[in-house]
Amino acid sequence: MFGILLSAFYSVLAWIVRSVLVKFCVYFALYFITTEFISIIGSLLPSASSVNGALSGIAANTAYFLDVFALPSGLSLVVSAYATRFIIRRIPVIG
């Protein structure tokens, strides 16, 4: 009786160590690496003010329409979306 219970306990313990613990460690490492890379890359992405500075040499007539369509904000959003898509596709489990 004791041998059967001990064998069942070892089977459950082996399952926990092999599948649950290993998956937890792998997913935690992926989460940690992803969050750290996003914080580093987020500081390198352009903000709306840097896009405004890049677009400051445009004529007044053109600048009016760019401002109406909120091009500086939209351009920074598009660049951020492309960077996020690039990061997500590089994660081995997801991409």
Q: Please tell me the predicted confidence (pLDDT) of residue 94.
A: 62
Calculate the average pLDDT of the chain: 80
DSSP code string of the chain:
-HHHHHHHHHHHHHHIIIIIIHHHHHHHHHHHHHHHHHHHHHHHS--HHHHHHHTTTS-HHHHHHHHHTTHHHHHHHHHHHHHHHHHHHHSTTT-
Residue 87 has pLDDT above 60, yes or no: yes
Residue 60 has pLDDT above 70, yes or no: yes
Residue 79 has pLDDT above 70, yes or no: yes
